[in-house]
Structure formats: structure tokens, C-alpha cells
A = this chain, B = another copy of it.
Amino acid sequence: MDFKDLTTEQLEEAANMLKAIAHPMRIAILGYLEDGKKLTVTEIHELLKIEQSTTSHHLGILKDKGVLCSKREGKNTYYFLKHANLSNIVNCVSKCTMG
């Protein structure tokens, strides 16, 4: 692939996705959503020990920018990765912080 072929719109969409991911809490959230896992807002807020409404905000940002999808089932809303390979991004950048 040749990135020089990306349009301005595609560059901005890509930037928006990365901007959505580029936050410690949101990276941690993605860490829990590998391999097609689906979690509710409450589960994530308990796992990460952050305010429930703050959790919802972060999930909303990730969904809005095309990183996550959500599906309501009864009282709960389950969140999960829109593209499986988005885990690679977190994977890759994490590797860089370790080596």
C-alpha cells in the first residue's frame, strides 16, 4: 500500500481513529477487548476502577471514531472492536514501550 495515495479525508479519518485510541484509559480498554471479547460499560468501569460515566464517555469516543461497535442486550450495552486488527496497533505501540 502506498500512503501517498491516501486522500485528505482518509488521512483525517485515520488520525481521528488514532486520536481516539491515544489515551491511557482507552488503550487499557482495548487491551481488554482482544480476540473479539465483548464487555459492558459496567464491567469495564469495574475492571479499570474509573467512574462509570467517564467510562461511557471513553467508549463513546472510541465508537464515534470507528474503533468500537456496541450492541445492546437487555439492560446492558456490550462493546467490542470494529476491526480485529486494531489490536495490532495497541500491540505494536506497547512493544515499543517495552523494548
Interface residues, chain A, with chain B CB atoms under 8 Å away: 1-4, 6, 8, 10-19, 21-24, 26-28, 30-32, 34, 66, 82-83, 85-86, 88-98
Q: Are A93 and B3 in contact (CB under 8 A)?
A: no
Query: Cα distance A96–B96 when bound, in Å?
Result: 22
Identical copies in the complex:
2
Query: Cα distance A96–B97 when bound, in Å?
Result: 24
Other than the known A10-B94, A10-B97, A17-B22, what 14 A-B pairs have Cβ atoms closer than 8 Å?
Answer: A3-B28, A3-B34, A6-B31, A6-B97, A11-B24, A11-B27, A14-B97, A15-B22, A17-B96, A17-B97, A18-B21, A19-B22, A22-B22, A89-B89
